[in-house]
Amino acid sequence: METKKVALITGANRGIGFETAKQLGEKGISVIITSRSLQSAETAAAQLVAEGIDAYGIKLDVLKAEDRVNVASFINDKFGKLDILVNNAGIAPKDTLFVKKTIETKADEFQEIFETNFFSIVYLTKELLPLLIKSDAGRIVNLSSILGSLGIHSLPENPIADFQVLSYNASKAALNVFTIQLAAELRDTNIKVNSAHPGWVKTELGGDEAAPMSIVEGAKTSVGLATIDNDGPNGKFIHLGEELPW
């Protein structure tokens, strides 16, 4: 079976996910790029292979149980273990994060956002946990957001007060709870679980003009948490090595 480290990154055909896979691959880690489209996943993987990275493209719609099972089977058959899971895939409301909306949030928006940003992550992690347990140093990185920080939102001078989108912010807060509780349950294993705030990055979600951070910078937090040693953080909320308030 494979002895080098193996990482799976969801939603990795573009943006922060693709850059995360690229940076992990440059460290000699085998990377599995997933996308809802097999063609997109394979095209992205081929780009990394052309750069000398050991990369594989797999179809994974995180909302589909069949896809989650198939990915676990592929990893088990090909590698026999999984060392790194980066739960990167996520969505924002269709009318963007720049429209304040609390009590007016509709049921279908809550359903769509929570299914992708929270429930699918819990279900995928559960499916892959037996493979992560086989790793000598399993790492789970949940892509959260500072917009999920209750501590920051509750400040009298809230620096993110312009981003009051209940569906998205609540989904990231829920994801942070998952990080805390899963890290606690796995504290006696070789697995570490952390939430990552990538920063405000020039992506399709973050916006090309207003966002101050490049995609290369935005991937650094995920890569850092995916490769921490045994003395690294566990059950924490991190941005570029600094701990954020829950």
Pair 222, 143: CB distance under 8 Å = yes
Distance CA 177, CA 166 (A): 16
Residue 123 catalytic? no
Pair 128, 75: CB distance under 8 Å = yes
**Catalytic option among 5, 22, 81, 172:** 172
Pair 24, 102: CB distance under 8 Å = no
**Catalytic option among 5, 56, 59, 168:** 168
The three-point CA angle 12-118-77 to 5° equals: 50
Which alpha helices (DSSP H) does 51-90 contain, by range?
A: 65-78
Burial of 40 (0-12, 13-18, 19+ CB in 10 A): middle
Residue 192 catalytic? no
Q: Which residues are catalytic?
A: 168, 172
